[in-house]
Amino acid sequence: MTKIELKAFRRILESRQNELGSGNRNREGLAIETSPDQLDRIQHASDRDCAMDNLERRSKRLREVRTALRRIDAGRFGVCVGCEENIDPKRLAALPWASSCIACQEAADRGQETSRSGMDALLVIAV
């Protein structure tokens, strides 16, 4: 990957980091509201659960973005943490914080561990 490409990815990731970091400060949706009406209490609880889920998702994405920035600094950006092969540039363009190639990510989603030899086994199974 060229220095120009890395700088472009760094700018994208830093922008995303700033966006996600500022959104985590808004926790008003987590406030517990009381109401004598049971339907209102149920609605408030549902809204609070939704706000907590959003906060957790944003926090997870922020961690992924920060990790990607550290990989850029370490010279490991664009290299899969599972099989150590290069991540497809199209995948990085869509998800610049991606730490795994598509095959390793699919295996992780299925709960399987991969390695270079494990990837060969997955390719044999796929064929």
> 86 by DSSP, 3-state: which?
strand
The chain-wide mean pLDDT, for the chain, equals 84
List pLDDT tens digits, range 25-40: 556 655 666 777 888 8
- Has this prediction a pTM greater than 0.75? no
Would you give the DSSP letter of residue 79? Answer: B
CB 97 within 8 A of CB 61: yes
Q: If 0-12 CB within 10 Å is exposed, 13-18 middle and 19+ buried, where does residue 89 land? A: exposed
Lowest mean pLDDT among 6-10, 32-36, 68-72, 100-104: 32-36
Residue listed under structure tokens 């922008």: 15
**Can you give the length of the chain in residues?**
127
Q: Distance of CA 80 to CAs 22, 105, 124, Å? A: 29, 9, 20
What pLDDT digit, counting tens, does each position of 65-84 carry? 999 999 999 999 999 999 99
